Amino acid sequence: MLSEVLLVSAPGKVILHGEHAVVHGKVALAVALNLRTFLRLQPHSNGKVDLNLPNIGIQRAWDVAKLQMLDTSFLKQGDVTALTPEQMEKLKEVAGFPEDCADHEHLAVLSFLYLYLSICQSQRWTEESLELINKWAFQGERVIHGNPSGVDNAVSTWGGALRYQQGKISSLKRPPALKILLTNTKVPRSTKALVAGVRSRLLKFPEIVAPLLTSIDAISLECERLLGEMAAAPAPEHYLVLEELIDMNQHHLNALGVGHASLDRLCQVTMAHGLHSKLTGAGGGGCGITLLRPDLEQPEVEAMKQALTSCGFDCWETSIGAPGVSVHTAASLDPPVWQALDGL
Ligand code: PMV
């Protein structure tokens, strides 16, 4: 079924502008990062396919020969947007699960089996497969967030830089190659609780909070316009405006109640180096982004990274606009990436 090592990867993503506002129908700008998560599919000589998900304690194995003999035509039947109860039943049968299993661990195994069988059928992803991947990722988001906007799964699936509003997605034509520093404050938070907090603040103070959301929408639109201008002819002034937008949005997000002392610290430390930061995603801790202007000298970036690391944060220098979910062969990967995956 699988004759060589197959690697599937998806990019990390950040929301440049529009987090939280996007949940209320406003525009968000999201970009895929050149930081990827890999799934390694590797042939075994024992004739089995092993699934190892160490984080949730799952280890399963199936006979490849048995999987090969399966009639997988049931996977192609019906609407690709949702598995039918009959397809779910078949998958449970293949997995050897009881019919009534519904917990996350069993569902994770079924998701794997479904994706495995589908990927092995075709190694070139069509637009339809990407739509399906996006929908599966959205279902995963729903398990975790409750009521996600859909922006996160969309940008990880299609990559690049996206404008997202109420399920409508458009790609920015030629996003400029912005460099950013992604910093993880390592402060845990619940997206679900933070989104609920913004909603209750909006209900409590509609006259105050609705204009904040409208203003965030305007920031996203202005950033989109600017990125378009930069694609044609980037100039140092553009970066100054991007920095102003970052500052304004960060203040708005604080006013929405999704800031955190760790994110304030991140903004202060980067500001001491003349750079501007904002939270990205749900806030309340989590990650922040810092715009790295092209005029920056590397020693300055290193000094800032050092200062952030001393606060207990993790940082990665990266760039925006990476490809979306992709299939790779071992030979097509950069040797260091392959070595890291091989050592797992
Ligand atoms: O940090 P994340 O991936 O949980 O981002 C959440 C982004 C929100 O706008 C706050 C929620 C959403 O579903 O869009």
Which of 163, 195, 199, 219 has most ligand 1 atoms within 8 Å of its beta carbon, as the pocket-test mutant?
Answer: 195
- Can you say whether residue 296 is alpha, beta or left, with left for phi > 0 and alpha for psi between -120 and 50 degrees? beta
Q: 193 CB contacts (<8 Å, ≥6 apart)? A: 284
CA distance 151 to 109: 25
**Interval between CA 83 and ligand 1 midpoint (Å):** 26
Whether residue 79 lies in the annotated active site: no
Both tokens of residue 294?
Answer: 């092209």
Burial class (CB in 10 A: 0-12, 13-18, 19+), 174: middle
β-strands 179-184, 314-319: how paired?
A: antiparallel
- Number of residues assigned to the chain: 344
Q: What is the largest CA-CA distance in the chain?
A: 65
- 286 in ligand 1 pocket by Cβ < 6 Å? yes
Return the DSSP state at 95.
H
Per-residue pLDDT 10s for the chain (344 aa) are: 455 677 888 999 999 999 999 999 999 999 999 998 888 777 677 778 888 776 678 888 888 777 777 777 777 666 555 677 888 888 888 888 888 887 778 878 887 888 777 766 655 678 888 998 899 889 888 877 778 999 999 999 999 999 999 999 999 988 898 999 999 999 999 999 999 999 999 999 999 999 999 999 999 999 999 999 998 888 999 999 999 999 999 999 999 999 999 999 999 999 999 999 999 999 999 999 999 999 999 999 999 999 999 999 999 999 999 999 988 877 777 888 877 777 66
Partnered with residue 329 across adjacent β-strands are: 6
Which amino acid type is present at position 240?
A: L
**Interval between CA 43 and ligand 1 midpoint (Å):** 36
The pTM for the full model equals: 0.76
Catalytic entry in 71, 100, 152, 342: 152
**Interval between CA 281 and ligand 1 midpoint (Å):** 5
In ligand 1, which atom is closest to the CA atom of 151? 14
- 195 in ligand 1 pocket by Cβ < 6 Å? yes
